[in-house]
Amino acid sequence: MLLESEEKIKLLDEHIEILKQELLFLMAERKRNPESPTTHIIITIKRELDNAVQEKMRLCQIYYRSINNGIAPTAAGA
């Protein structure tokens, strides 16, 4: 279970980074061209980013709580 949580955390990290890049790009585009209809997309990406960060925090709490309770992550096949 810990390895599964660790993998989910890594995937969320990657997803968060992609969302950050998209958000930065759209915000720069909006600043360059204020008439651009990107406001709705920016809000949607920001919500998705917030949700991904909350999910990562939840998984990290579970992961680190398990480690602190004496359950050490093991390598697959070990």
Average pLDDT over residues 21-43: 89
DSSP labels for the chain?
A: -HHHHHHHHHHHHHHHHHHHHHHHHHHHHHHH-TTSS-HHHHHHHHHHHHHHHHHHHHHHHHHHHHHHTT-----TT-
Residue 78 resides in a domain = no
Residue 73 resides in a domain = no
**Residue 15 CB: number of other CB atoms within 10 A?**
16
Please tell me the pTM assigned to this model. Answer: 0.73
Residue 76 resides in a domain = no
Residue 44 resides in a domain = yes
Residue 61 resides in a domain = yes
Predicted confidence (pLDDT) at residue 25 exceeds the cutoff of 70: yes
Task: Return the minimum-mean-pLDDT range out of 26-40, 43-57, 60-74.
Answer: 60-74
Residue 52: domain span: 2-68
- Number of domains, the chain: 1
